[in-house]
Amino acid sequence: MLVLDSQYTVEESYKKVNWGHSAFCSAIDFAVKWNVKTLYLFHHEPVYDDKKLDSILTAARWYAKYIVHSDLKVFLSCEGLEFEV
């Protein structure tokens, strides 16, 4: 499992290049390259509403399946989510 700061689309990440946040497609590319099975997109833009976050998740899942051709499971991190290691 990988939890990675990936709150932006590619277009948004280009506009905020020095902000220290990545695009969801970069997170997917890393996860696939590193043979990760499950990815949680983390650190959401505070001004985004649930509709925007859902659109990012949908786009991320589409990218993983149809562009990268991966069975990577992609989820959004949310407040209160815990993992046992």
Look up residue 78 and give its two tokens.
């949310």
Per-residue pLDDT of the chain (85 residues; tens, 9 = 90+): 999 888 777 777 666 666 667 788 989 999 999 999 999 998 777 888 899 899 999 999 999 999 999 999 999 988 888 888 8
Q: What's the whole-model pTM score? A: 0.84
